[in-house]
Amino acid sequence: MSIPISQPLEPMEAQLVDVVPNGKEWQYEPKWDGFRCIAFRDGKRLELQSKSGQSLTRYFPELVAALLKLPAKQFVLDGEIVIPVGQRLSFDDLLQRIHPAQSRVLKLSQLHPAWMVVFDLLVDARGNPLLDKPLKHRRRELERFAKAFDECESLWISPATLDVKVARRWFRGAGGSTDGVIAKRLDLPYEAGERTGMQKVKPIHSVDCVVGGFRYAEGKKIVGSLLLGLYDDQGLLNHVGFTSALSEVERQRLTPKLVKRIKPPGFTGNKPGGPSRWSTKRSSEWQPLKPDLVVEVSYDHFTGERFRHGTGLLRWRPDKAAAQCTIDQIEQGGTSLRLLHS
């Protein structure tokens, strides 16, 4: 017995658009905030493949065990690995799983077990490949297959709807544990590595932040990025991310102004470049600033008390007091677990 799909398999991806598309040809799903994963089972062999084609198998032993308990002895599933902590999904706990020590991985898998939210079936339990079938057919087969998930709390089928009003409601609730909305063409096959049949809409928010420090560009005495901070309930200024959305002219103009404002400590709470396995020598090299400069930045996702990605610099806010830049500006969504349990 052998599954009729070879590894690695490039997952079908989505094109970023500005609005949720409307039409009878679309199916809508929440965009889950986790690791994309394709699960291959062939008898007793189970492999978890990342979006980039790398193996995730050793990092999620609890998911391997759950998938091997399914009655189907062969299948290929496409989905997202997530980790629920309380009523939210934690991307930070997900990142901690990519650890070289197996003992650490096992400990974390028991402390906060991972789930797999499945949204596509590429090979069914009879070994039939479904990639050439339209999504409408694959979704119907997935719903049949997923009846076995009832016996395992680690495996879930992603909600899906044909109602654009529901999709827009999901989009408005995004920003915490979900990351927007995915729209998929019902009439198209699974196109590995392509973006033609899927669209994603991600929320963009803005927030006012204190510039608590800056980093020089690599190998130059010119500003490379601004380090952003927000005040917590105790009045501590915590580092929450950065923006490097500066033109060369802006960097040249800004550098002497910031150099004159260098003044420790900059951040009074969590600081940039704190000890972690992600730190590098350069990440700990930064210049503290007197915390009275305020910028408005755009961001797509805030999790684990920081911006997931770099932010966009919208404007300087000389009219805004630094003390007004508090963490409660951030909207913390919590819709995802309710969606799964509904």
Asked about 260 being catalytic, the answer comes back as no
Dump pLDDT digits (tens) for 54-81: 999 999 999 999 999 999 999 999 999 9
Give 284's pLDDT tier (boundaries 50, 70, 90). Answer: low
Tell me, yes or no, if the pTM score tops 0.85: no
Query: Rounded mean pLDDT of 290-314?
Result: 89
**What is the rounded CA–CA span in Å between residue 18 and residue 203?**
9
Question: From the DSSP assignment, how many helices (H) and strands (E) are in the chain?
Answer: 7, 19
Given a contact cutoff of 8 angstroms between Cβ atoms, the answer to whether 41 and 68 are in contact is: yes
For residue 180, the surrounding DSSP H or E stretch is strand 178-185
The domain limits of the chain are: 15-203, 205-329
Closest CA to 244 of 260, 262, 224: 224
The superfamily CATH assigns to domain 15-203 is DNA ligase/mRNA capping enzyme (3.30.470.30)
* Confidence at residue 88, expressed as pLDDT on a 0 to 100 scale: 82
Q: Are strands 198-201 and 178-185 parallel, antiparallel or unpaired?
A: antiparallel
Query: Rounded mean pLDDT of 210-238?
Result: 95
Closest CA to 241 of 298, 203, 202, 291: 298
Is 285's pLDDT higher than 60?
yes
Stronger pLDDT, 21 or 318, i.e. the higher one: 21
| Domain topology for 205-329 | OB fold (Dihydrolipoamide Acetyltransferase, E2P) (2.40.50)
Query: Rounded mean pLDDT of 128-142?
Result: 97
HEC letters along 28-41? EEEEECCEEEEEEE
Given a contact cutoff of 8 angstroms between Cβ atoms, the answer to whether 300 and 176 are in contact is: no
* Confidence at residue 132, expressed as pLDDT on a 0 to 100 scale: 96
Give the active site residue among 31, 133, 184, 200.
Answer: 31
